Structure formats: structure tokens, C-alpha cells
Structure 1
Amino acid sequence: MIIENELTFSHINNHETIASWSIKIVISLSTLILIGFIIEYHRLDISLYAINNSIEDFRVAITYERIFFVLAEIIICAVHPMPRAFPGHSNTLSVDTSSDDSTITSHPLSYASVDVALGLPMFLRLYLVWRFIMFHSHLFRDTSSRSVGYLNRVSIDYFFLIKTYLEQWPIVCLTVFCIIVFLVGSWSLRACSYSSTNEHLTMQNTMWLFVITFTTVGYGDFTPSTYCGRTIAAMIALVGVLSTALLISVLAQKLVMNRWEKYVNNFVLNVELSKERKLHAANVIKYAFKVWGMKKRNIPKSSIRYFQAQRRLFQSIHSLHQVKQQQGQLVDNCVDQIDLIAAQRHTGTQTCEITEELKMMKLNMLRMERKLVTINVNINNAINNMQETLNTLLN
């Protein structure tokens, strides 16, 4: 599609050539083949859905939502620049080539070439690349991963894979996405923007226009000349804002220290705070003895030396309290969600062990109680036998 439009752009007054007409024939044939593959794909998808859900008649699985998505996909893939009349050799092409530049009138804002209007929607077919990536992903092809997902009510689909790849390779994903948007947006601006001589802007100028629009700077040296170009520029600006937000979130995630780095940092800060705490504690003792010595020497409280010692004593006490608060905050910041989960798990394990020990102790106590009862019975029997024996002897 891009080659066909570039051939048309290079021709005088954007007239269609035999080469561009032949490329349109190829595009139309490939579009028919693609639509056939899409229909076959959805047929197999419905059949697999019916098998997985034990549905005998596959027509039960055909819902209005599925019909809507299938028709939308077919329409998206069906839009393409179609070949029109076979271009013939014309002798009138060079009639107006020698006219003055003053007779050239710029295109109106509503102008849009038919081939460009039908060719730009073909970029929507890039979603097929993501479908190809999904079907070749190990998460999608691995039976165990999908089983775990179904058990946890997590569907391994497009959005799940996007989140997974952004979590694993955020910089690579953003870089690839920005490069694709940059190339597609630059060429789209070239196809819809014209200079004062009704020629398409060069690729270098549209790249610069894309950059200043994507970054929302907008110097104004190049502007879209048609509604089509303005629409594309607005879409580029929105994508630029979203990409900037994603970039900031990725950078913030990369700059956050992990668990072990946080532990090392907190350990170093704790050592420094411990040194400061000892220093301020020593100053408290030092200036307290100094104030006490001044009182013993009967130095008047209105003297400058007494005021200085007392002020330094209060400053040391205040600094000591601040260091203690910082140490407490450091301990609180060191404890994260993983530590809480580990502590909860350890506490649960200890609780189970203590419960088992209490059960064993209860059983042992019951056994001891039974033995004590048996011993008591034996002692009573022995006492009774002894009394009977003594009575017999006395008699």
C-alpha cells in the first residue's frame, strides 16, 4: 500500500500508473485471501469453544457480540485501495506543465485522495501481528499456565499478555511501540499534508512534524494542511501523552530500590543515625554537668555563659529526640508488604505448632489424670487392706 501510494505521489498530479494499478490488484487478491483466513479462524474458534463447553450445536455459541466483532474485523481487513480503470497513456499530461506557478491553487482543507483515504485504515491490520505474537507466546501455548489461569479465573488473552510483557520488558515494549507509531504516523502525515505547490511533504519534514506533535511542543514551522492531516496530528498528540505517562511510570518503577537495596540503604542510614544519637547523648550529659557545675559555683543565671550552656543543653535534647524519631521512621519504612506476609506466614506456622503442642499436652494430662485415678484407687485399696489386717490382728 505504501509503495503504491509513493508511486502515485511521484507522478504528476498524483495520476495512477500501471505499476500502482498492478500493486492494487495484488492488494485486492491478498485482501480476499486474508478475509478467507479470518473467516476460517473464527469458525475454528467457535468450534473449539463449543467443544470446551460441551455444546453439541456450534450455532449456540454464536452470540450477537461475537457476530459484531467478526463483522468489524472483516470490515477492517476489507478496506483497501481498489483498482479502478486501467491507466492509459495520455498526451495531455504535459499541457499544463509549463504554466506559471501563480496559477497553482492549493488543495482545500476537506481534500483527501481516495487511495490515501482507503490506504490509511490498512494500518489497523497491525493487530494481526499481536495475534501472531499471542499464539506463539509460551504463556498461551503452555497447558499448565492456562490451567492455572482458569483455576484462578484469569483469562490469558491479549490484555493479560500486554501486561505481562510490559512487566517483564517495559523498555523494549515501549521502544518498539514508539518506533512503529513514529513510522506509521510520519508516513500518514506525509500522505495527508501538502506544501504550497500541492506536493506532498517530504518524509524528513513529516518526521519532524511528528516529533513536535508527539511531544506536544508544536513549533509551527510545519502544520497539517487538510482535515485528514489534522485528525492524524490529533491522534498522534493523544498517543504521545499516553506514551509519556507510560514512560514516566516505567522510569519510576526502575528508579525504585528493590528489597535488598532498601535493606542496605536503611542499614547505612541506621549506622549514621546511631552515631548521631550517641553524639547528641554525650552532648546532653556534657552540658548537663556543665549547667550543674555552674549552679554549684553559684554563677548567676543571668550570665551569658549560663545561658549558652543551657541553650546547648536544650538543643542537644531536641536533636536527640529528632534522631530517635528518624530511627523509628526508618524501621517503619524498612518493613514492606513482603515482610508482613512473611511475618504472617511465620506466625501462622508457629500458631499451628503451638496448637499441636497444646493438643499433645492435653492428651498427656488426660493420661496423667487417669494414672492418678488408678493410683488413688490402689492406695485406697491398700489402706483398706491394711485396716482389715490390723483389725484381724487386734481381734
Structure 2
Amino acid sequence: MASVKDTCIQLINLVKADSSSTIKQTESMNAALISPTTTVTMNSDISNDKQTHPLYVRSQKIAASFILSLISRRLALRKDLHKRLCRLSDIMCFLGVFGIILMSIVNEIEFHQINDKYAKLSWFIKLTITLSTIVLIGLIFYYHRLDITLNSINNSIVEILICAIHPIPRSFPLHSNTSLENISSNSTTSTHDTFSTAIDILLGVPMFARLYLFGRVIMFHSHLFRDVSLRSIGYLNKVSINFFYLMKTHLERFPTLWLTAFCVTFCIIGSWCLRACSYLPNNQHLSVADSMWLFIVTFSTVGYGDLTPSSYCGRSIAAIIGLVGVFSTALVIAVLAQMLLLNRWEKYVHNFALQAELEKERKTQAANIVKFTIKVWFLRNKNRSELSIRYLQAQRKLFNSIDSLQIIKQKQRQLIDHCVDQIDIITIQRSTNDKTCEISKQLTFLKTKIDNMEEKLVEMNININNTMNDIQKTLHMLLDKVEK
């Protein structure tokens, strides 16, 4: 059987040893894990009064403060990791967009097939794209290293494959002397340039997939993702606060803005891809205006047929544009339908106006019923024949007024049903629950009062019985005395 003093000393030593080991482990920023908690078993024979010993209470306070310090340190590390991931995502997004812009400039230079001076510029731009890609891949590795520390999730392979594709600089272009040999080899050079341009296009078009980094920037800068309390509530309700959830919320709040931004961005990217992958009969690329016209015709699924993609790359891009166009059209129709719907307050005003109009018609038809009833009664008492024209007209108008009144009452009931919204049902349910709770409290209070009354009645009954017994005893004693 262990004494209280020995147990408290062991607990303090264990807490100190655990705290020193954990502080050493969490000196670096990447150590975000808490060491296993120390468990101390005590003999159950120690009584409750001994557990109030000062050393025991002090050890409990030290253990609680140590656990709180560990939690605060871990939260601080997590917050710092979030900030570093946010900065990394901003830099990665900048490098991705920068590489896409440089790729577009390189391909535009090659589309126009200008002189050697611009060919060297194109080579240097490709070298810049390669260097920025290497830096971007390094940042992706570092980002996922921090992400593994924070969330224990790794999806770096797919991102590296997406970001590694880019136009690679080949041999450095030298100055070409205008000699007979160069003049005779123009056809071979043009064929080589066309092949290299096609390779650059095939390696450049997939670079637009780097725009997923912009979605990550939106996610890290959203207040829904940065707020720890909201994320905790989401996890408790099995709702992950990720990019798709944020897009749903943004589309719910600002549907017109986000759909317009998406359509404009996709129009620019799709038009340039069609310009890069489609050729005219003279092996020239489409102009900007023609490529935008081809994009609009394909996106809207009209397809006039005046311009068509001439390569497999252009046809693939046209198919993707058509699918996205169908999806975007469905979204636009859904947004327009939602915008045309009346909100709650507009619906209330509209229903109030309809209710007032129906009430006015109901009073009119009720007055008509009274009027035509009196008219029918008057014509019948005037000894007019029931087959007379005036009697039949009055009777027909009476029946029409009765039918109209029934129809108006039915419309009023339907209007009340349509007026009741889900929010109203929830409000009624809440008020009903509150009233039910109040009634249950009152019933509980009444039950306690009745129980108290029952106890008092039992006590009164006992007192009365005792009093009656005393009176009987006294009477018996008096009778005994009288007999004697």
C-alpha cells in the first residue's frame, strides 16, 4: 500500500521528466505531435480525505498546467504552419501564372516566325520558364512536407506531374549567314521550325492546369478556412471545409460574379488554345478574332461550321469547350431561375396583396348571394312562374355566386399553404418546443406541490389518529374512574 506523500513525489518527478522530454522534442517547428500522456496508478485504499493532501493538490495543478501549455504550444505551431502554407501557396500561384504568361509570349513569337533576334529572346524566355518550374517544384516539395506535418496527407506526385510540363529550351539559336547553302535549305529549316512549334504547343497547353494553384490561394485566404472554430464545427458535422465547399458558398453568395469571372477566364484560355492548335489552309494559325468566334460557337454548342479545328489537338480542345459550355449553360439557367424567384419578404407582400384581393372578391360574392337570394324569394312570392326568364336568371346568378365563393375560399386556403415556408415551420416548431418546456416545468412544479400536499395530509392523518387514540384512552380512564 503506497502512502500519499510517496505517490505525490513520484507524480511530480514524472511530470517534470515528461515536460523536459517534450520540450526537447518540440524545439523545432515541425514537431507538432504531443508526447503520450503519463499515467499514474494509485492504490484504491487511499481514502478521500488523504487525496486532499497539499502535495497531491499541487501535483494535480502542475499536471493540468503542463497539459494546457502543451495544447497552447501545439495550437501556436499549427497557426504558424498555416501562415507558412499560405505564403507558400501565394508564391507558387505567382510562379505558375508567371510561367503561363511566358509560355504564351514564346508561342506568339513562334507563331509569327520572326528573325533570329527574337528566336534568341524565345530561347531565353524558355530558359526562364524552366528555372521557374524548377523553383516551383521545389516549393511543392516543401509545401507537402509542411502539409504532412500538419494533416498527414501527401498528394505531391500529381502536382509535380502537372507543374513539370513546360516548353524545354533546346539548342541555342546561332546567327545564320545568308549563303547559298542556307538558301537551299529553307524547306528543311521550315519543316524543323514547324515541328518544334508543334512540340512547344503540346508542352505549353497543359501549363494552364497550373491555375489550380489559384484555387488554393482562394482557399487559404478565405475566412471560413482560417477560422478554427468554424472548421471544428464543420468536422463535428462531418463537413470538410475544402476548396469545393468554398466554391459552393461563393456561388451561393455571389453567383453572377463568379460565373462571369469563370466564363471570361475560360474564354481567354480556350480561344488561345484554339488559336494555337488550329491551322488555316496555308499552315498559318487562326487570328485572335477567328479563334474567339470559334470558341463562342463551340461554347454555345451552335456550330455554324464556317471555322473548324484542323488538328487532333484542336478537336480535343473543342470537345472540352463544348462539355464545359453545356455545364456552364446549366449553371447560368439555374442562377437565373434562382434570381427570378421571390425572396421571403417579397413573397409575404405578394401573398398579402393576393389575400386582400381575394377577401374583396369574397365579400362581393357573399353580397351577391344575399342579393340574388332575396330576388329569388321575391319573385317566388310574387306568384311568378318558376319557369319565367327573370326567375331563372336570378337563380343562375345565385348558383354562380355560390360556386365563385367556394372557389375563392379554396384559393385562400391554397394561398395560406403556399405562404407557409420552411422557416415558418421551424419558427412554429421552436415556439411549440418552448411552450412544451414551460408546460413541463409547470407540471413538474405542480407535481412537487402535490407531493408536498400528500406528505402533509399523511402527517395530518397520523396526528388525527394519534389524537383520537389519546381521546379514547382518556375516555376509558374516565369511565373506569366513574365505575369505581
Please give the range of the TM-score, normalised by the shorter of the 2 chains.
Answer: 0.7 to 0.9
1:298/1:278 Cα in 2 relative to 1: closer, same or farther (>3 Å)?
same
The root-mean-square deviation of aligned C-alpha atoms, in Å, is: 2.9
**Matched letter for residue 230 of structure 1:** R
Q: Cα offset for 1:111?
A: 12
1:13/1:239 Cα in 2 relative to 1: closer, same or farther (>3 Å)?
farther
Asked if residue 19 in structure 1 is aligned to residue 104 in structure 2, the reply is: no
**Matched letter for residue 73 of structure 1:** E
| Residues 183-208 of structure 1, C-alpha deviations (whole Å, 9 max, x = no match) | 00011111011122221111011111
Residues 255 and 335 of structure 2 are in contact (CA less than 8 Å); yes or no, is this contact kept in structure 1?
Answer: yes
Residues 8 and 15 of structure 1 are in contact (CA less than 8 Å); yes or no, is this contact kept in structure 2?
Answer: no
Asked if residue 370 in structure 1 is aligned to residue 472 in structure 2, the reply is: no
Q: Cα offset for 1:303?
A: 2.1
**Matched letter for residue 206 of structure 1:** S
Of 259, 270, 287 in structure 1, the residue corresponding to residue 344 of structure 2 is 259
Distance 1:159 1:14 in 2: 47
Asked if residue 6 in structure 1 is aligned to residue 108 in structure 2, the reply is: yes
**Matched letter for residue 278 of structure 1:** K
Residues 287 and 309 of structure 1 are in contact (CA less than 8 Å); yes or no, is this contact kept in structure 2?
Answer: yes
Q: Cα offset for 1:278?
A: 0.7
Residues 210 and 236 of structure 1 are in contact (CA less than 8 Å); yes or no, is this contact kept in structure 2?
Answer: yes
Task: State the percentage of identical aligned residues.
Answer: 56
Distance 1:305 1:231 in 2: 80
Give 2:282's aligned residue.
Answer: 197
Q: Cα offset for 1:382?
A: 5.1
**Contiguous gaps of at least 5 residues in structure 2:** 1-102, 187-194
Give 1:181's aligned residue.
Answer: 266
Residues 298 and 321 of structure 2 are in contact (CA less than 8 Å); yes or no, is this contact kept in structure 1?
Answer: yes
Give 1:32's aligned residue.
Answer: 134
Distance 2:229 2:459 in 1: 60
| Residues 151-175 of structure 1, C-alpha deviations (whole Å, 9 max, x = no match) | 2222111111111211122111111
**Matched letter for residue 308 of structure 1:** Q
Equivalenced residues, count: 371
Residues 110 and 197 of structure 2 are in contact (CA less than 8 Å); yes or no, is this contact kept in structure 1?
Answer: no
1:173/1:14 Cα in 2 relative to 1: closer, same or farther (>3 Å)?
farther
Asked if residue 221 in structure 1 is aligned to residue 306 in structure 2, the reply is: yes
Distance 1:76 1:14 in 2: 31
Give 2:169's aligned residue.
Answer: 83
**Matched letter for residue 200 of structure 1:** H
Distance 1:256 1:389 in 2: 92
Q: Cα offset for 1:358?
A: 0.8
| Residues 242-286 of structure 1, C-alpha deviations (whole Å, 9 max, x = no match) | 111111111222222222221121111111111111111111111
Distance 1:14 1:322 in 2: 86
Distance 1:286 1:45 in 2: 83
**Contiguous gaps of at least 5 residues in structure 1:** 51-60, 98-109
**Matched letter for residue 43 of structure 1:** R
Secondary structure in structure 2 of the residue aligned to 1:113: helix
1:272/1:360 Cα in 2 relative to 1: closer, same or farther (>3 Å)?
same
| Residues 9-37 of structure 1, C-alpha deviations (whole Å, 9 max, x = no match) | 01169998111111111111111111111
TM-score, structure 1 normalization: 0.86
**Matched letter for residue 82 of structure 1:** I
Q: 1 or 2 for the larger relative contact order (CA 8 Å, sep ≥6)? A: 1
Asked if residue 134 in structure 1 is aligned to residue 236 in structure 2, the reply is: no
